[in-house]
Structure 1
Amino acid sequence: MLLLNSPSHSAYFNIASEEYLLTRFPTEDIFLLYVNAPSIIVGKFQNTLAEINLDYVKEKEIKVVRRMSGGGAVYHDLGNLNFSFHTVLGEKDFGDFSYFTQPVLNMLKELGVPAELKGRNDLLVEGKKFSGNAKLARNGKMIQHGTILLHSEMEVLGEALKANPLKFLDKATKSNRGRVTNLIHYLPEDTSTDDLKKLLTAQILKTHPMAEYYDFTEEDIAGIEKLQREKYETWDWNYGFSPNYNFKKALKIPAGFIEIHLDVIHGIIEKAKIFGDFFASKPIEELESLLIGIKHEEEELVVLFANLDLTEYFGKVTAEEILAGFR
């Protein structure tokens, strides 16, 4: 087994590194640890926009990254440690999360924390979740990865993942927003993610005494950064990959009541209908047709609206007021 500690706090880099390692070490067992700067990591089969508070995420400059595995959206920051096990597929039951969460439970037991695996893939302490886990199988290997909330900013976590469920109608996997807690409430107050890294690695060495430390080479970093640029930083992967969905939002502005309905396929607006009690000098159907074929994404809508006189469709409005109806 190889023991890796990521040198980066970039969620783009660290999520990309998991995919890179699948091909870099096709048969080797790997234990990877990383800590991300503020970011939301969404499951592969989720509708990203339905999982996040987009306005808040943009305001706080929180990165949004889609991972390869399924499951729900999670919030990462510098107070959250992430662990990732890679092994040859078939050696462990794909539906069993207990094997690779046991080192975490053993570590916490030695620290006097009464943690346990509950349900299929969550680790809890006193009924509150501090770790969510997910799996994927690809290229003959399996990855099981999970979070450990140590001293994450719970207020930010709550706001960043506070999406409006009334905006979207889809069949995408939804996140289960259970009660969560930080482990710092059960540990010495000066405990750090680096401390947990050392303790958890020590647990791994108990069962894998021949494990070796491995540092990313310059070639590895270049390969990960290439994958990061070409996939994990792109709108197409993080938003456009979302399952098809219907979007609906109503807003009241000085010009009147406006209700926007969109059918979105792979992030692209395929159908648009706009209703309301506003007054317009041009038919609203003209604007609806201009929306077809563009991304349901703020930057592209900003470009479209900048080239239009929106007062001709809605009366006395600003582009920002109309843009709010598409978030």
Structure 2
Amino acid sequence: MLLIDSPSTNAYFNIASEEYLLTRFPTEDIFLLYVNAPSIIVGKFQNTLAEINLDYVREKDIKVVRRMSGGGTVYHDLGNLNFSFHTLLGKNDFGDFSVFTKPVLTMLNKLGVPAELKGRNDLLVNGKKFSGNAKLARHGKIIQHGTILLNSEMAVLSDALKVNPLKFIDKAIKSTRSRVTNLIDYLPADTTTNQLKIWLLDEIRNNNPKAETYTLTPEDIAGIEQLQKEKYETWDWNFGFSPQYNFKKAIKIPAGFIEVHLDVVHGLIEKAKIFGDFFASKPLEELETLLVGQKHETDAVEKLLQSVDLTEYFGKVTVDEVVEAFK
């Protein structure tokens, strides 16, 4: 088994590294650890916009990254340790999460933390979740990865994932918000994510005496950064990959009431319909037609709205006022 501690706190880099390592080491077992600066990690089959508070995320410059595995959306920051096991497909039951969560539980139990696996893939302490786990099979290997909330900013977590459920109608997998807790409440007050790494690596070595530390080479880092740039930093992957959905939002501005309905496929507006009690001097159908084919993304919609005279459609309005109806 190769033990790898990522040198980066960039979520784009670390999520890309999981895919890169699949092809870099097609047969070796791997245990990867990483810590991300504030970021939201979205499950592969989720509608990203329906999982995040977009305005808050943009304001706080929180990275949004879609991962390869299914499951729900999670928040990462420097108070959260992430672990990832890679092993050959067929060595373990794909549906069994206990094999790769056992080292985490054993480590914590030795430290006096009453942690346990509950349900299919959550680790709990005193009924509160501190670790969610997800899994995928690809290229003949299994990846199971999970989080360990040590001292994460719970207020930011809550605000970043707070979204209006009435805006989206889709069949995408929705995250289930659980009661969560930080392990710092159960461990010595000076415990850091780095200390957690040391404890967890010691536990892995106890069970895998032949495990070797592997440091990413300059070639590895270059390969990860290329994949990061080509895939994991892109709008197409993080937002455009979202399943088809219907979007609806109503706003009240001085010029009147505006309600926007959108049909969105792979992140692109396929159909737009706008309702309201404003006074238009030009047919709204013209603007609705212009919206078709645009990304359902604030910057793209804002750019389009800036290119037309909105007063002809809505009366006395600003671009900033109207663009709110599309968020």
Aligned to 1:62: 62
Give the 3-state SS of the residue equivalent to 2:281 in structure 1.
Answer: coil
Give the 3-state SS of the residue equivalent to 1:204 in structure 2.
Answer: helix
Aligned to 1:266: 266
Q: Deviations over 1:272-292 (max 9, x none)?
A: 000000011111111000000
Q: For the residues of structure 2 that align with 1:90 and 1:255, how far apart are their CA atoms? A: 62
Deviation of 1:303 (Å): 1.3
Deviation of 1:101 (Å): 0.1
Aligned to 1:126: 126
1:81-100 matches, within 5 Å, as: 81-100=81-100
Aligned to 1:231: 231
Give the 3-state SS of the residue equivalent to 1:87 in structure 2.
Answer: strand
Deviation of 1:309 (Å): 1.0
Give the 3-state SS of the residue equivalent to 1:231 in structure 2.
Answer: helix
Aligned to 2:180: 180
Q: For the residues of structure 1 that align with 2:163 and 2:242, how far apart are their CA atoms? A: 15
Q: Deviations over 1:207-245 (max 9, x none)?
A: 101100000000000000000000000000000000000
Q: For the residues of structure 2 that align with 1:82 and 1:317, how far apart are their CA atoms? A: 46
Q: For the residues of structure 2 that align with 1:154 and 1:132, how far apart are their CA atoms? A: 15
Q: For the residues of structure 2 that align with 1:17 and 1:143, how far apart are their CA atoms? A: 12
Aligned to 2:290: 290
Q: For the residues of structure 2 that align with 1:306 and 1:317, how far apart are their CA atoms? A: 12
Letter in 1 for 2:245: Y
Which runs of 5 or more residues in structure 2 are unaligned? none
Q: Deviations over 1:245-272 (max 9, x none)?
A: 0000001110101100000000000000
Q: For the residues of structure 1 that align with 2:240 and 2:111, how far apart are their CA atoms? A: 43
Deviation of 1:112 (Å): 0.4
Aligned to 2:29: 29
Aligned to 2:106: 106
Aligned to 2:18: 18
Give the 3-state SS of the residue equivalent to 1:203 in structure 2.
Answer: helix
Aligned to 1:189: 189
Give the 3-state SS of the residue equivalent to 2:31 in structure 1.
Answer: strand
The question of 1:73 aligning with 2:67 is answered no
Aligned to 2:326: 326
Deviation of 1:301 (Å): 1.0
Give the 3-state SS of the residue equivalent to 1:325 in structure 2.
Answer: helix
Letter in 2 for 1:217: T
Aligned to 1:48: 48
TM norm structure 2:
1.00
Give the 3-state SS of the residue equivalent to 1:313 in structure 2.
Answer: helix
Q: For the residues of structure 2 that align with 1:25 and 1:181, how far apart are their CA atoms? A: 35
Q: For the residues of structure 1 that align with 2:323 and 2:259, how far apart are their CA atoms? A: 12
Which runs of 5 or more residues in structure 1 are unaligned? none
Deviation of 1:326 (Å): 0.3
Q: For the residues of structure 1 that align with 2:317 and 2:125, how far apart are their CA atoms? A: 51
Q: For the residues of structure 1 that align with 2:315 and 2:178, how far apart are their CA atoms? A: 44
Q: For the residues of structure 2 that align with 1:126 and 1:241, how far apart are their CA atoms? A: 37
Letter in 1 for 2:70: G
Q: For the residues of structure 2 that align with 1:65 and 1:156, how far apart are their CA atoms? A: 17
Letter in 2 for 1:243: P
Aligned to 2:222: 222
Aligned to 1:154: 154
The question of 1:241 aligning with 2:251 is answered no
Aligned to 1:210: 210
Give the 3-state SS of the residue equivalent to 2:309 in structure 1.
Answer: coil
**What do you get for the CA RMSD once the two structures are aligned?**
0.4
Letter in 2 for 1:263: D
Letter in 1 for 2:206: K
Give the 3-state SS of the residue equivalent to 2:258 in structure 1.
Answer: strand
Deviates more, 1:70-79 or 1:303-312: 303-312
Q: For the residues of structure 1 that align with 2:186 and 2:318, how far apart are their CA atoms? A: 51
Q: For the residues of structure 1 that align with 2:280 and 2:266, how far apart are their CA atoms? A: 31
